[in-house]
Structure 1
Amino acid sequence: MSNSIAYKSIPIPGNIPLTQRPKNAFAAPKVSLLDPFPRVQTTYLSWSGFRTSLSPVTGNLTAPKCNASVVTMENNASVTFPTRPSPAETCRTVMELCSEGTLCTLTEDGWPFGTGVEFALDVQGMPVLCFDPLSVQAQHVLVHKRCSLHAQLEQPGHRKAQCILMGTLSKPEDKILKQRLQVIWARRFGKEVHEDHLYVVSVEKVLQSQDLGEEGLWVDALEYSRATADPLRDCVAKIVKDMNDKHWEDIHRICNIYTDLDVEVEEASMVWIDRLGFDLRLLTRPQREILEVRIPFPREVTDEKDARSSLTYMAQLAWEVEKNYAPPEFERVKCIQN
């Protein structure tokens, strides 16, 4: 299992770069980790390994750090290992966690018409919608079947993951399919609906982005339909809240030990966690910059208990390294710049 770190450097608007500041110009306005900010750059770093060692000069324990590295196999071919879920998996996770979105259909004269809707997903991730056959959306479908569905997932720290599904909207005719869709809707919203009120979006294109203002990635419709949502999706909010409220010292310690950013971190908070790792948001000083760091798990986790166990393990190792206690040896992790 590979491990890699995504490093996002986002200067606060209005700040002057350090190289252009006078010596007495380090004072900056108060910045909170919960403030929204623009993203301008992404750099990926990766683990060089987990093995720690004693310095021959100082006798102190050397902490595991993260840097850019490439693995070369015997046939001289570089191999990339995943450090975060694929865009298709991220799309399925966003759609699974959202139940409301904006449906955009076309009017008779070709104007886009957006309305808020509830939606559920079938086993292939196709959105299931419910509205009256006499509604405006239903009338639009009679003329133009093309549509788009936009969903947005609110994450801690003002991050908003986006997913746009484009395809054709139609009313199913098969009786058995209608019954299945009724069951899907009842499980999602706890209420029964008439079978004539159900519509399905046949997805043809998918656009996914990590946040507002970030460039989106196109996802193949077949890859989207075959992907699965992250196994931690239902417990993400609880884990993130617990870590930020009860274990903020561990977050700060993990950040100091598991990363090599060459900056002093004033605040650190967790914003997301999945089966392959977690994202931290950092406030640095004296630059007053906000960074986002991706820290991978030593191995893939499968559920909430497994994730909490890995976080405890990483926090314990970070504490031992910080205190210069000799930790047990770990297998060296080889990975590549992502």
Structure 2
Amino acid sequence: MLPAVTSVAAASPQVPQVYSAEPDAEIARFQEHQRTAARPTVADEARTLFSLARSAVLSTKSAAAAFDGFPFGSVVEFAVDAEGRPILATSTLSPHTGDLIADGRCSLTVTAPGFQSLQDARFTLAGKAVQLPDSERAAVRETFLAKYPSAFYVDFGDFRWFRLEEIKGGRFIGGFGRIATISAEDYQAAKPDPISQFAGPVCGHMNADHEGDILAMVKHYTGLSAVKAKMLDLDRLGFNLQVTQQEGEQSFKVRLPFVRPAEDRKAVKDVIVEMTRAARGAAPQQ
């Protein structure tokens, strides 16, 4: 007996009200706020993703007999030099090392920390990987070990060093509706965000101890009423949230800019405290 077929229509997800084409006054204000909310350039976001990522998917043109000529993906560790060029240490035992020696054209794909769905950011950078001479080994080794201090294996005799040269540019997706092609020039001119490295502990503290304050800030600065709000990450210009407007509804991303840029961890604390106090002061008294 064949199993019952579930209706596709019955599984259709509910669209959050904030995506309405004919919004009420509150939603219209929120939509306008999000259109003008300060955020890093997509090139800066891409460079930041590369600086934070602990691994990437390396896509090569396979030189192996079983997959000759087909695209092939491998998970690799990598570091990034001051110019944004990815550095790879790969073993000759790994098929992708032979792929890169035969044809250096490749791409690296990274995702935002904690990536869970297509709402989350990812970036693919394309270029040509070049095997480095012994004269550059010490410099790239130092850069790689600064990120992976326990990577003793890079000194094994079967490891080779590669760097992505002739960068062609990349494709950034920051979530639904935030898509951009980034030129090689813009990527290499961009800088990683100085605050993003503190996102984990700051967001963790706010989510654990100050959800009420986060909700108050959302209401005060965007005009949006919500029942749940979680800080996802932050940068020098503000932070990103996952918000639920009503119980049982789909959640969605919200951008909340700082009232002024924050260039270090203390400045982040100061501006969040200032914004929290302003939101509390504006909230109706119960």
Give TM class, smaller chain. 0.7 to 0.9
Find the counterpart in structure 1 of residue 133 from structure 2.
173
Maintained 8 Å contact 1:280/1:294: yes
Higher RCO structure (Cα 8 Å, ≥6 apart): 1
Find the counterpart in structure 1 of residue 55 from structure 2.
100
C-alpha offsets along residues 76-131 of structure 1, whole Å, 9 cap, x if unaligned?
A: xxxx9871011111111111111211111112332111111110111111111111
Partner secondary structure for residue 99 of structure 2: helix
Rounded Cα–Cα distance in structure 2 between residues aligned with 1:268 and 1:82: 18
Classify 1:17/1:230 alpha carbon distance in 2 versus 1 (closer, same or farther; 3 Å).
Answer: closer
Cα drift, residue 14 of structure 1: 3.6
Partner secondary structure for residue 259 of structure 2: coil
Find the counterpart in structure 2 of residue 274 from structure 1.
235
Rounded Cα–Cα distance in structure 1 between residues aligned with 2:247 and 2:133: 63
How many residue pairs were aligned? 257
Classify 1:287/1:99 alpha carbon distance in 2 versus 1 (closer, same or farther; 3 Å).
Answer: closer
One-letter amino acid of the counterpart of residue 102, structure 1? V
Q: How does 1:116-265 map to 2 (within 5 A)?
A: 116-133=75-92, 135-155=94-114, 160-173=120-133, 175=135, 177-190=136-149, 191-192=151-152, 193-194=154-155, 197-202=160-165, 203-211=167-175, 216-261=179-224, 264-265=225-226
Classify 1:216/1:16 alpha carbon distance in 2 versus 1 (closer, same or farther; 3 Å).
Answer: closer
- The alignment's C-alpha RMSD in Å is 3.0
Rounded Cα–Cα distance in structure 2 between residues aligned with 1:184 and 1:231: 18
Classify 1:17/1:219 alpha carbon distance in 2 versus 1 (closer, same or farther; 3 Å).
Answer: closer
Q: How does 1:74-85 map to 2 (within 5 A)?
A: 83-85=38-40
One-letter amino acid of the counterpart of residue 110, structure 1? G
Find the counterpart in structure 1 of residue 3 from structure 2.
none
Gaps of 5+ in 2: 1-10, 22-28
Find the counterpart in structure 1 of residue 14 from structure 2.
15
Bigger drift between 126-135 and 293-302 goes to: 126-135
Classify 1:273/1:111 alpha carbon distance in 2 versus 1 (closer, same or farther; 3 Å).
Answer: same
Classify 1:133/1:249 alpha carbon distance in 2 versus 1 (closer, same or farther; 3 Å).
Answer: same
Cα drift, residue 228 of structure 1: 1.0
Find the counterpart in structure 2 of residue 46 from structure 1.
none
Rounded Cα–Cα distance in structure 2 between residues aligned with 1:139 and 1:157: 32
Gaps of 5+ in 1: 1-11, 19-38, 43-64, 70-79, 325-338
C-alpha offsets along residues 237-266 of structure 1, whole Å, 9 cap, x if unaligned?
A: 1111111101111101111211124xx422
Classify 1:14/1:219 alpha carbon distance in 2 versus 1 (closer, same or farther; 3 Å).
Answer: closer
Cα drift, residue 67 of structure 1: 7.2
Classify 1:250/1:16 alpha carbon distance in 2 versus 1 (closer, same or farther; 3 Å).
Answer: closer
The alignment-based identity, stated in percent, is: 25
Maintained 8 Å contact 1:67/1:260: no
Give me the TM-score of the superposition, normalised by structure 2: 0.79
Q: Decide which of 266, 280, 284 is 2:245's aligned counterpart.
A: 284
Partner secondary structure for residue 72 of structure 2: strand
Maintained 8 Å contact 1:103/1:116: yes
Maintained 8 Å contact 1:232/1:302: yes
Cα drift, residue 153 of structure 1: 1.9
Rounded Cα–Cα distance in structure 1 between residues aligned with 2:111 and 2:51: 11
Bigger drift between 109-118 and 193-202 goes to: 193-202
Rounded Cα–Cα distance in structure 1 between residues aligned with 2:99 and 2:20: 41
Cα drift, residue 283 of structure 1: 1.1
Q: Which has the larger radius of gyration?
A: 1
One-letter amino acid of the counterpart of residue 97, structure 1? L
Give me the TM-score of the superposition, normalised by structure 1: 0.68
Higher share of residues assigned helix: 2
C-alpha offsets along residues 195-238 of structure 1, whole Å, 9 cap, x if unaligned?
A: 96211112222111124x66631111121112111111211011
Cα drift, residue 157 of structure 1: 7.2
Partner secondary structure for residue 169 of structure 1: strand
C-alpha offsets along residues 130-185 of structure 1, whole Å, 9 cap, x if unaligned?
A: 1124542222223222111111123487553211111111111261x222101111
Maintained 8 Å contact 2:85/2:164: yes
Matched, 1:89 2:44: yes
Partner secondary structure for residue 82 of structure 2: coil
Classify 1:254/1:40 alpha carbon distance in 2 versus 1 (closer, same or farther; 3 Å).
Answer: closer
One-letter amino acid of the counterpart of residue 275, structure 1? R
Cα drift, residue 300 of structure 1: 0.7
